[in-house]
Structure 1
Amino acid sequence: MALDQQTALSDAKTDTVLGRHETGVLSLAREDEPYAIPISYGYDTDQRRFYLRLVSTPASEKRRFLASAPRARIVVYEEETDVYRSVVAVGTLQEVPKDDLTVEHIEQYGEAKRPLFEIWGESKPDLDIGLYRLTPDSVSGRVIEIDREHEPS
C-alpha cells in the first residue's frame, strides 16, 4: 500500500467527522495504569464538547478509574475505500451531577445514544449510570489518502 498523503484535518472537517459518528474508544489513565473501552457519545460542534453516559457496576474497574477524575482521550476513526480519517480529543473527564442538568445538557445526552456496548451480567439495580462531559484541551484530526495506482503488483 503506497501512502500518498497524510494531512491534518481543519477544525470544521474534524467536527464533521465527530458529528457523523456516535461511537469511539475512551482511554483513561492514572499514574502508569491505562484503561480503554468502546463508548457511545454525543458531540456538540458549537462548544466542541463530548457527552457520555457511562454505565458501571459497584466494584468495576471503570468505576475506580472514573472516581479518580482521570485524564481522558477519545479516539474516533473511519475508513473509506482509499481514505482513512482519525480524530483524537484529549482532556479531563468531568461527571455532571444530575442536579446540575440543564435542558441543553439533556438535549446533548439525547444525542449520546443509549450505550451501544451495554452487556451486563449484573441486574440493572446494581448499575450506576453516570453522565460525563469532556471539554477537550486539544482536538486533532488526520486524513490519510492511499495511492493505489502506484502500488507494487
Structure 2
Amino acid sequence: MEDIRSVRMSKEEQDEFLGSGGTGVISFTPPSDGPPYTRPISYGYDPDTGNFYFRLAVGPEDAGKRDILDEDREIAFVTYDETDRGWRSVIATGRLDEITKSALDPDVTEAMQRVRIPFVDVYDSHPLTLDFRFFRLTPDEVTGQQEAGTED
C-alpha cells in the first residue's frame, strides 16, 4: 500500500494554488448540536490582503440560509485539487463580514477588482429570482497542505 505524505504549503504556494478564485466548500458552525451547514461555493482570493470573497445566493425559499448568513458564525472554507504535483488543499477559518453598498470602501473595491469569483450555477431557482450577497473572509487561520510524494 502506498504511503502518501503531506507537507505544509508556504504562503507563496498557497497564493499560487488559490489564484484569483475558484471553487470550494463552505461550512457554517451549527446553531445547536446539529450538523454544520455546508455548501459548494465559488470564491475570489486577493493575495495582497489574504482575504477571500464569496457571492452567496439566497432564494425566496431559503429562510434557513438567510438566518445563517445574518448570524455571526464561525466558518471553515476548504478548496482542494489534484495537480501535476499531486493533491493540494487550503483551509481558511474565521467569520464572514457582509459587503454592503453602504459599507463599500476603496480598499474593498480595489480588492474586488483583483479577484475572480466564478459563477457556478448550482441553484434550485432561476438566478434572476435570487438575492446575491457578497461577503469577505479575513481569515483567523489559513493552512495549506500538499502531497509530498509516495513511498512503497
How does the TM-score come out when normalised to structure 1?
0.82
1:87 aligns with 2:109: no
- Which SS does the other structure have where 1:22 is aligned? strand
1:1-153 alignment, distance < 5 Å: 1-19=1-19, 21-31=21-31, 32-33=33-34, 34-60=36-62, 61-80=64-83, 83-109=86-112, 111-121=115-125, 124=128, 126-147=129-150, 150=152
Work out the CA distance in 1 between the residues paired with 2:16 and 2:127. 37
Q: Name whichever of 25-34 and 91-100 sits farther off.
A: 25-34
- Which SS does the other structure have where 1:51 is aligned? strand
Q: Name whichever of 98-107 and 12-21 sits farther off.
A: 98-107
Deviation at 1:20? 5.8
Deviation at 1:12? 1.2
Q: Give every structure 1 segment of 4 or more consecutive aligned residues whose post-TM-superposition deviation is greater than 4 Å.
A: none
Structure number with greater Rg is 1
Quick one: which amino acid aligns to residue 80 of structure 1?
Answer: T
How many residue pairs match? The answer is: 148
CA contact 2:51–2:139 (8 Å) conserved in 1:
yes
Work out the CA distance in 1 between the residues paired with 2:82 and 2:53. 24
Deviation at 1:106? 3.9
Quick one: which amino acid aligns to residue 90 of structure 2?
Answer: V
Work out the CA distance in 2 between the residues paired with 1:92 and 1:56. 19
Question: Structure 2: any 5+ residue segments left out of the alignment?
Answer: none
Work out the CA distance in 2 between the residues paired with 1:122 and 1:12. 38
- Which SS does the other structure have where 1:91 is aligned? strand
Identity over aligned pairs, percent: 34
Quick one: which amino acid aligns to residue 56 of structure 1?
Answer: V
CA contact 1:38–1:117 (8 Å) conserved in 2:
no
- Which SS does the other structure have where 1:117 is aligned? coil
- 1:20-41 C-alpha deviation (Å, 9 max, x unpaired): 6511111111333311111111
Work out the CA distance in 2 between the residues paired with 1:30 and 1:62. 12
